[in-house]
Structure formats: C-alpha cells, structure tokens
Amino acid sequence: MSTHIDTYAERLDTAALKAEATAQISLENQLSIDEAYQIQKASIDRRIERGESLTGYKLGFTSRAKMEQMGLDEIIFGRLTDQMDIKKGPLELSNRIHPRVEPELAFRIKKDIDKVLDPADAPEYIDAVCIALEVIDSRFENFKFDLADVIADNCSSSAYLLGPWLDPKTDIRNKQISYSLNGENLHTGSTDAILGNPYDALIEVSKMSIKYDAAIKAGHIILAGAATAASYVSSGDHLKVSFSELGDLSLDIK
Ligand code: OOG
Ligand code: MG
C-alpha cells in the first residue's frame, strides 16, 4: 500500500482518537475517489487492529436536505464499528470535536450481499428495520470538506443509536419525521426524503459494496442516510426525533 494512503489514514484516525480537528487533505493533495476510499479502509483497519469490529456500513448524501446542507451531491458510503454504537446514550462530548446529530433509518441484513441488488430482490435481504440517529463528527476543521476529504474521513461517522428492531415488513415509506432539540422543533421531513424511497438505500449500498470490494454480510447494519439536515449539539441538550407510527428516539448530550 502506498505511503500517502497510510499517512492520511493515520492522520484521520489520530484526529478522531484525540478529538482534535485536522486540516482538509484537499488543501494539500487532490485525492481521487479511489484513493479516498483506500484511506477510509486503512483508517478503519487501524480501529479493527485495536479490537473494534465492523458492524456494517452507512450511506451519506441520500437526501436533498443533506446534499444542500453540505454542498455535495454524490452518494458516499462509510464503515461502522461496534464502538460507534452508543446504545441508549448519553452522547459523550469529551471524545468528539463538533458533533452533529441526524435522523436515519437502519436495515439489518439477512444474508450476504454478493451482487448489485435490484428493487425486487431487496426484501429477501432485510432481516429487520429500525429508526436510528447518527452522530457525525467531521475530523476536518470547521466541518468543511470536499468529496474526497469526507470519504477519506469515513463520511464523518462517529456514533449511531438504533431503535428497537422491527419486523422487516413494517411500512417505513413516507413517515413524517420531526426533530426537536430542547423542545424546539428544528427540522421536519419524511422517510421518503431518503432517495425518494428508503429501500433504494440497499440498492445503492450493494453497488458500493461491489465497486469498492466492501463485503456486506448477514447481520450487518446499513444506515440509509439522514432524512433531514443535521444539527450541532452541546452539553446538556436533550434531543428527540419522532418518526410517526414508527416511534421516537431521544438522546441526552453529556
Ligand atoms: C457527511 C456524512 C453524511 C448522511 O446521512 O447524509 C451522512 C457529513 O454530512 O458530514 O451521514
Ligand atoms: Mg448520516
């Protein structure tokens, strides 16, 4: 593996470990998208060498709200580890830089995905679905990045919180989402804001998996991407997201 891949992987991994922002890589080096995914993989491999295990993958920029908020419009994918699962919370701020929280849906995968799925195949691969929150925490200064930067930085992944797993046949289409912080409504949206149909997240992640040789296995979790913009959180905040009949998720910020 070439050294600049390892050097940047170490730089991003260290920034996450120390909760200290680093300069955008794009200010000094225009990485290709392939190189950015190699850096992502190498930085997650460092976590795996420290004892974490891969729990699945996430998609990013699957809704217009997110594309507009971050100024990027290509779908990206990142890797999730067991250490990112914060169960019920609270969210610790001390080991993060400038976290933001966003509402998501998650799928649990029933059998290994070894091809690009089409919409008709998707149900066979879904073991369960749930409502979820994702905590993103760019390792770059001022939460600013270009496409290659954010991919190298594992798509800003920091933590996730999953609701109870629901029957895979649960209707997750077109459910109203309302996101409030300390009792004040910040964002509203719909589960269909994710790609126009959240099941399409499985199609997209299967394409990424084949293209970048990132095996999706039975039991893996897939985060479909945020349905609304993300919001910064600070110590003492109480966040609540309701997903209509699918339920509510709350998170305290410590
Ligand atoms: C990149 C990650 C995007 C999503 O759900 O769209 C993402 C970022 O916004 O920092 O996780
Ligand atoms: Mg997300």
pLDDT digits 0-9 by tens, 186-231: 999 999 999 999 999 999 999 999 999 999 999 999 999 999 999 9
Q: For position 3, what pLDDT does the model report? A: 86
For 141-186, write each residue's pLDDT tens digit. Answer: 999 999 999 999 999 999 999 999 999 999 999 999 999 999 999 9
92-116 pLDDT tens trace: 999 999 999 999 999 999 999 999 9
DSSP-assigned states of every residue in 155-212: GGEEEEEE---B-TTS--TT-EEEEEETTEEEEEEEGGGTTTSTTHHHHHHHHHHHHT
- State yes or no: cis peptide before 103, omega within 30 of 0: no
The Å distance, Cα 210 to ligand 1 centre, comes to 21
Which ligand is nearest the CA of 69, by number? 1
Please write the tens of the pLDDT for every residue from 11-47: 999 999 999 999 999 999 999 999 999 999 999 999 9
60 lines ligand 1 (CB under 6 A): yes
Integer Cα distance of 135 and 185 in angstroms = 18
Using the structure block, give the residue that is written with the tokens 């649960």: 170
Closest CA to 201 of 58, 74, 27: 58
Distance, CA of 70 to CA of 157 (rounded, Å):
15
Asked if 92 and 254 touch (Cβ cutoff 8 Å), the reply is yes
Q: Whose CA is nearest to atom 4 of ligand 1?
A: 60
> Atom 7, ligand 1: which residue's CA is nearest?
60
Ligand nearest to the CA of 99: 1
Q: How far apart are CA 103 and CA 225, in angstroms?
A: 8
pLDDT at 1: 52
Q: What span, in angstroms and rounded, lies between the C-alpha atoms of 59 and 225? A: 5
> What whole-number distance in Å separates Cα of residue 251 and Cα of residue 239?
5
Asked if the model's pLDDT at residue 120 lies above 80, the reply is yes
Question: Ligand 1 pocket check: which of 12, 24, 59, 66 to mutate, most ligand atoms within 8 Å of Cβ?
Answer: 66
For the packed helices 3-18 and 33-49, what is the interaxial angle rounded to 10 degrees?
Answer: 60
